[in-house]
Structure 1
Amino acid sequence: METYLNLMLIRFGLIIGGLVVLAALVFAIALALRRRGRLDAVRRCADPAVKAGLRAAARRFEGGKGGEPGPRGRDGRP
């Protein structure tokens, strides 16, 4: 049991470490773009894609148009 818990702890540590590295990388890219004065241009280009992604996620979460594959039973099967 101790070995299993150690493996789970290592797994969660790697996941958290990866998220921290990813956040640092995004921050460094944003900082570099800000220093070059291109952050606003990137925001204008990325804004429509982000809005479309959020709309799709909201539709999927709410089970709206095209997001709901069908009713599912208690066991997850259609």
Structure 2
Amino acid sequence: LNKYLYYFEKGNPQITSAAIQGLIELIKTEMQSDTATPDQTSDAFFACTLRYIQFQKQKGGAMGEKFDTITV
């Protein structure tokens, strides 16, 4: 997800907000269906990534508009 976000920010036309949204949903689904003991490191890393997306949305400007269509 983080690599996709990097290229999304850099303007790669193949990385769309829909692709980012799909990855977020996939990760959430996989984390919920994982019946093994929760991995706190992975959970924290994913939470930081979601906070970063929220920060970019709140920042405004062109970058904020770009991230505005992503729901976290």
Q: TM-score range by the shorter chain?
A: 0.3 to 0.5
What TM-score comes out, normalization by structure 1 length? 0.34
What TM-score comes out, normalization by structure 2 length? 0.36
Q: Which has the larger radius of gyration?
A: 1
